[in-house]
Amino acid sequence: MSDPYTPLFKDILLSSVWAESSDTRIVWIAMMALAGPDGYVPGTVTGIANAARVGVEATRAALAVLEAPDPESRTPDHDGRRIERVERGWVLLNYVAHRKRAQEAARRFKKTQAMRKLRARSVDTRGQSVVENAPTQTETQTQTPPQKEGSPLPPRVGVPCPCGDEARPGHPQGWCDYRCALPVVPPGDGLRPLAPEPATGSPAVWFTLDGWEPTRELRSDAALAGVPPEVFEARLADLRNGPIGGRRGVIDRNAYVRTQFPKWRAWYEEQRAREQSKPPGRVLPPPEPIRPRRKERDHAVRWGYDIDAIFDAVNAEGWVASKGAEGARQEAQRRMAAAAKAGRQGPEAVP
């Protein structure tokens, strides 16, 4: 079994726990280092104090701060508490969530590295296949099919090369075969095959819509085919993201896009029919206003501010309707923290 570890994210420097005393921060880091896979920290106050190299009384005060609610905490779960006392120790309340966050980040990094290696390997494989599988001039001549008796045509070794690429690896000078029509993958790009540049007199083969823009006539044909302009632009954007024409490519990109009009129109009509067949949504009742909880009232009594006035103001300003009950409660807790801070600083600090 591997040694357990605790993920420590850099945004801890922006959290509310970092605004506490140095003893509280050291005790918190020490408990995270001692936590097991489920966030359980066994021990006593004296044991935690010895592990953190902090005095016993300072450790007891730090544990009280970590067990208390924190209205300024970014995590609304457990009212901002960070630890909870259990039998024979404590439990870090948000430990499992932060560990899953670290595992997800590691999983994304491994996937990125694997895809990068796969793309590099595919480029190397394609570059070798062109050199290894291309026949030489001698092999091409030896593989000439036998001429049937009585055939008026002479045996053909090939046809005059239309691409003119005699410098291509393994290319028979003056002759070519089906390999000249295959797309060439340049070094460093294993994602999208590119067509070889055609010589004068040979038709161009396109595999993408890069550098192509629709003409006014093509837009008019799309409207006549029943494709709205916004649907035309959206489908055209999707078409630009990938190859076109399969392995053979296309010669006329305008004609290829024009062949997509019936399919685009069918998709548009199907989507519009689904939207029209949806039953009308039911009218929701007005949201219920939020009320202070018992722990929040205890916090108000401790710091001496009017919590009912804060919640009435939040409800009157429409926070529940715009941000939901949870967002309205977070706004109320933010105002509670401001009121408690003003109470700690004295009446003269209240604006």
The span from the CA of 207 to the CA of 256, in Å, is 11
- Side chain identity, residue 327: G
Question: In this structure, what DSSP letter does residue 181 have?
Answer: G
The span from the CA of 34 to the CA of 58, in Å, is 18
Tokens, residue 339: 């009121």
pLDDT of residue 283: 64
| 19 within 8 A of 57, measured Cβ to Cβ | no
The total of other beta-carbon atoms located within 10 Å of residue 32's CB is 19
pLDDT of residue 18: 84
Tokens, residue 306: 């009017």
pLDDT of residue 315: 92
Question: Which residues lie below 8 Å from residue 164, measured CB to CB, with a gap of 6+?
Answer: 199
Q: Which of 212, 259, 264, 213 is nearest to 235 (CA)?
A: 264
**Torsion angle of C-alpha atoms 316, 319, 322, 327, degrees rounded to 10:** -160
In the chain the beta strands, taken as DSSP E runs, fall at 40-42, 83-86, 89-92, 159-160, 175-176
The span from the CA of 312 to the CA of 297, in Å, is 14
Q: Which of 207, 135, 205 is nearest to 168 (CA)?
A: 135
Q: What is the DSSP string of 194-263?
A: BPPPPPTTSPP-BSS-TT----HHHHHHHHHTT--HHHHHHHHHHHHTS-SSTTT-BS-HHHHHHHTHHH
Question: Which residues lie below 8 Å from residue 34, measured CB to CB, with a gap of 6+?
Answer: 41, 42, 43, 48, 51
- What are 128-153's pLDDT values in tens digits? 544 444 445 444 444 444 444 444 43
pLDDT of residue 205: 82
Q: Which of 4, 82, 78 is nearest to 37 (CA)?
A: 4
pLDDT of residue 345: 65
Tokens, residue 273: 């029919």
- What are 90-103's pLDDT values in tens digits? 888 888 777 777 77
pLDDT of residue 292: 93
The span from the CA of 63 to the CA of 84, in Å, is 9
Question: Which residues lie below 8 Å from residue 110, measured CB to CB, with a gap of 6+?
Answer: none
pLDDT of residue 291: 92
pLDDT of residue 332: 93
Select from 3.40.109, 3.40.50, 3.30.70, 1.10.10 the CATH code of 10-93: 1.10.10
The total of other beta-carbon atoms located within 10 Å of residue 22's CB is 10
Which residues in the chain come in under a pLDDT of 50?
1, 126-127, 129-135, 137-162, 165-202, 348-351
Q: Which residue ranges make up each domain of the chain? A: 10-93, 216-276, 294-349
